[in-house]
A and B are shown apart, each in its own frame.
Chain A
Amino acid sequence: MSGDIRYWLRENKGTLFALAAFVAMFALYVANHPAGLNANVAQTAANKGTILAIVAMAQTLVVLTSGIDLSVGMVMVLANCLASHIVVGTPLSATLGVLAVLGVGALCGAINAMIVIFGRLQPIVTTIATGAIYYGAALALRPVPGGDVNAALADAVTGQIGGVFPASLLLLLALVVLVWWPFRRSVVGRAVYAVGSSEVAAYMSGVPIRRAKFVAYTLSGLLASMAGLFVTFVTYSGEASAANGGTYTLYSIAAVVLGGVSLFGGSGSAIGAIFGALMFRTIGDLLFVFNVEPLWQPLFQGAVLMAAVCLGSLRLLRIRNRLELYG
């Protein structure tokens, strides 16, 4: 039994580390916030963190297959622009609009998957190119920022439940329980981890490689579009901003790394990535409550990212044979 726990701890070391770091940072933030922890502080923090957390989940799925998705940010922007057109009007039409946006997101992911699987192109170049295409589509939909969104729906998702609990955290929890856990426990989910650990070994063992990759990329697109929907709910408008897309893509990689997901694939969890994202967001807030000049914020964020990345090299201390360095 204790062996099981030790194994579980080792498996989830990265996730637990991210969780602990986030809790410590957030506690520090709340302790120094002039207003303390009230519902509004929690709501603002949660809404800011949720967008990056969902994008980080999307990135995790692809990274687990030892790929990388540089188009997640652009799918998010595309979903944002589309949602600002069609998630409007009566509750019924808004609901249909949400479904359509999610469908488009899944389609973007599926296109990435098809090119990677059947075109046999490397994920990194594929998603650079498809990212340009998705951004073009977003720009076609919204040449200038604007649009609208169903306000009742937006307020429900970004508001508070019972005037206390931020609704966006519930959404995040729902994604973990309804999307991530079933995926992780399914045959396809296991196949994704197998492909990421060693594609050749997975192939030799008859693991459904193609199906695993297809599901991972498609689900990634779906999650990215969900983040885009959330952006729309927060801003009440759509904007085809290349800078936003690029920033979220890069931050999602940072969040994934902070969350203990291996960029080589096959190890880590979306839950870790969520805490990585929340931690990354909290760094910025911390500087705010400590009255650090806003100018120093990017440098501090960069330094923390650098330090967190360097922690990854601690594994070198355990290596006995130098050859293990050159995998």
Chain B
Amino acid sequence: MGGATSRRRVDPAVAWAFGCIVLVLVVGSLYSRSFLSPEYLLQQLKVASFLGVIATGAMIVILLGQIDLSVPWVVAVGGMMSTAATGWGPLGEAMAIPVGIGCGIVLGLVSGAGVALLRLPSMVVTLAVNAVAQGLMVVHTGGFSPQASSSPAMRFLATGDTLLGIPNALVVWAVVGAAAIFLLTRTTFGRTVYAIGNRERAAYLSGARTGAVVIAAFAIAGGLSAFGGVLLAGYASKAAQAMGDPYLLPAIAAVVLGGTSILGGRGNYLGTVAGVILITLLQSILSVMQIEEFGRHVIYGVVIIAMLLIYGRGQKHSD
């Protein structure tokens, strides 16, 4: 799987995901022409950027065959620490973004160490890290949404548009995405991530530095989740309790809809891009169509199941 063959021809899962995006848009345009307008699409891409940055980290961890359940509160840590740093004065304001991302990286390192060194299941380690991050933030903020607002730089990245009307958030996602593609396909780190996802034992026996790669992958994921939180805080100009909660499941769903195997070792970044756009469009169009909230949840779930049944099925025992 993957490797040389997939580089030459298009992964069917990615083609399916992009096909579904077109389908969603066509169905939406039957309802209203404005779904095809450049303004609407650009706006959606901007909203998708936040999920895109977070899903990039989720994807790297899933490629390892692990899962990161610490997304909700690492996102909140990113948002809250960056806004808190903004309140520390001019130096803090300048360092707001690095501080937010740095806190996420530290939490990611803890998760990675638990998985790589203590050999614990990532599901519980990241769950515990999520609980600790929540505890730290509740103590830090006093349980209320913090009053500190985001720095101008954060607002610039999340809401501005400098380049020909293209939103800065989209540019940020493009840069993060390009870096992820380079990292995953052109570096030893990336090849090791895929190798570990396929069979960690074989990767270890081949002399790959599996421990360091796992820790680094979790640190990157933590940093990206926190960066997502920084952007979200810039977008809303404030951080909030539970601001990361709506991002855990969509991030995982986007990665899986993009054809990345939840068991690890297989998937490419283009699929994740498609998955993120698809989920964002689906959520947006369903809410614009004024379908009631319960209907949105049901359709959302049914579409994910239906799409995965089409192309995301596992192998039979007899195969």
Contacts and interface: CB of A to CB of B under 8 A. Distances in A.
Contact of B305 (A129, A203, A305): A129
Interface stretch (A5-13, A98-106, A115-123): A115-123
A173 interface: no
Contacts of B200: 326
A139 B294 contact: yes
A263 B124 CA distance: 9
B302 interface: yes
Contact of B262 (A115, A124, A129): A124
B118 A313 contact: yes
**Which has the most chain A C-beta neighbours within 10 Å: B118, B143, B210?**
B118
Interface string B142-153: 110000000000
B300 interface: yes
A188 interface: no
A316 B302 contact: no
B200 to A, nearest CB: 5
Interface in A185-202: 199-200
Contact of B135 (A122, A124, A303, A312): A303
Nearest to A308: B128
Contact of A137 (B134, B205, B242, B294): B294
Contact of B308 (A121, A138, A306, A310): A121
A31 interface: no
Contact of A122 (B125, B128, B205, B314): B314
Interface in B190-237: 200-201, 204-205, 210
A130 to B, nearest CB: 6
A278 interface: no
A309 B294 contact: no
A313 B120 contact: yes
Interface stretch (A49-57, A145-153, A227-235, A291-299): A291-299
Given A133-B298, A136-B294, A313-B120, A298 B304 contact: no
Contact of A295 (B129, B142, B252): B142
Contacts of A306: 128-129, 131-132
B318 to A, nearest CB: 9
B139 A296 contact: yes
A63 to B, nearest CB: 10
Contacts of B135: 296-303
Interface string B112-145: 0010001111011101111111111011001100
A208 B150 CA distance: 57
A271 interface: no
B132 A133 contact: no
B119 A325 contact: yes
A216 interface: no
B309 interface: yes
B295 interface: yes
B297 A125 contact: no
B177 interface: no
Contacts of B129: 306
Contacts of A300: 135
Nearest to B315: A120
A299 B139 CA distance: 8
Contacts of B134: 298-299, 302
Contacts of A294: 143
A295 B143 contact: yes
A140 interface: yes
Contacts of B309: 115, 119, 121
Interface of B: 67, 69, 114, 118-121, 123-125, 127-136, 138-139, 142-143, 200-201, 204-205, 210, 242, 245, 249, 252-253, 256, 262-263, 292-302, 304-305, 308-309, 312-317
7 A-B pairs closest in CB distance? A299-B135, A136-B297, A302-B131, A132-B301, A133-B301, A136-B298, A313-B118
